[in-house]
């Protein structure tokens, strides 16, 4: 339980670099997670140094365009300010992991109900793998932030990445320059019901 209770979402990082071996160890933990029908639909693309700067420049341009047009997610435009803040956090981290669903397609395209169920199951599997990764990072003394704000730059990022699959989100990784207090959680009585 130690890594579960001590894990935090880290939004400030030192300049100390994270190594490829550390990232490999985190991903090794990620791929041990449960997977619906054992499809193992995850792929982890790691961006460091100038490659990280380049993909984040793509994201910034896309966010600026979305701010002007609200073309991609018009009903979520209120979340753009947070996306710009998240971009600053991503720039500060020494590594960025983009997470793909290798079986998925664009969330902006219609799919049939059978494929939607498969997509949901694969997303659950990937969520479990990300949690394993975050907990391993915590155990290793690293800080992480699980990021969904890539959605505002979805098409530009997937075009830049150039790989088949659905972009699920990103994880920033680095050495924490903060030690945040735990966030409030709902009481167990509010979320647990024994149906008898």
Instruction: Determine the Cα–Cα distance for residues 42 and 31; give it in Å rounded to an integer.
Output: 8
Q: Average pLDDT of 175-181?
A: 96
- Helices 113-139, 20-30: axis angle to 10 degrees equals 130
Task: Please name every residue paired with 98 in a beta bridge, in sequence order, or none if there are none.
Answer: 45, 170
We find that the CATH architecture of domain 2-191 is: 3-Layer(aba) Sandwich (3.40)
Q: How confident is the model at residue 1 (pLDDT cuts 50, 70, 90)?
A: confident
**Domain spans, the chain:** 2-191
Q: Tell me the whole-structure pTM to 2 decimals.
A: 0.95
pLDDT digits (tens, 9 = 90+) for 70-129: 999 999 999 999 999 999 999 999 999 999 999 999 999 999 999 999 999 999 999 999
Q: Residue 10 to residues 141, 150, 167, 177: CA-CA distances in angstroms? A: 12, 17, 22, 8
Q: Average pLDDT of 11-25?
A: 98
- Strand order, beta sheet including 143-147: 42-48, 95-101, 166-174, 143-147
pLDDT digits (tens, 9 = 90+) for 24-81: 999 999 999 999 999 999 999 999 999 999 999 999 999 999 999 999 999 999 999 9
Report the alpha-carbon angle 105-109-113, nearest 5: 80
At 39 the pLDDT is 97
Distance between first and last Cα of the chain: 29
- Please report the sign of the dihedral spanned by the C-alpha atoms of residue 55, residue 68, residue 165, residue 134: positive
């Amino acid at each position: 339980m130690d890594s579960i209770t001590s894990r935090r979402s880290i939004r400030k990082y030192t300049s100390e670099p994270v190594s490829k071996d550390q990232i490999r160890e985190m991903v090794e933990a990620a791929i041990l997670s449960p997977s619906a029908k054992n499809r193992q639909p995850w792929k982890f693309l790691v961006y460091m140094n100038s490659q990280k700067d380049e993909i984040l420049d793509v994201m910034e341009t896309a966010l600026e365009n979305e701010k002007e047009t609200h073309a991609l997610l018009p009903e979520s435009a209120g979340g753009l300010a947070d996306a710009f803040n998240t971009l600053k956090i991503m720039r500060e981290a020494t590594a960025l992991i983009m997470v793909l669903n290798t079986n998925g397609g664009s969330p902006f395209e219609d799919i049939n109900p059978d494929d939607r169920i498969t997509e949901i199951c694969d997303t659950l599997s990937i969520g479990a793998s990300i949690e394993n990764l975050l907990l391993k990072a915590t155990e290793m003394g690293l800080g992480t932030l699980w990021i969904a704000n890539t959605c505002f730059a979805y098409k530009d990022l997937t075009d830049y990445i150039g790989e088949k699959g659905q972009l699920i989100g990103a994880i920033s990784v680095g050495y924490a320059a903060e030690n945040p207090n735990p966030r409030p959680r709902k009481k167990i009585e509010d979320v647990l019901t024994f149906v008898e």
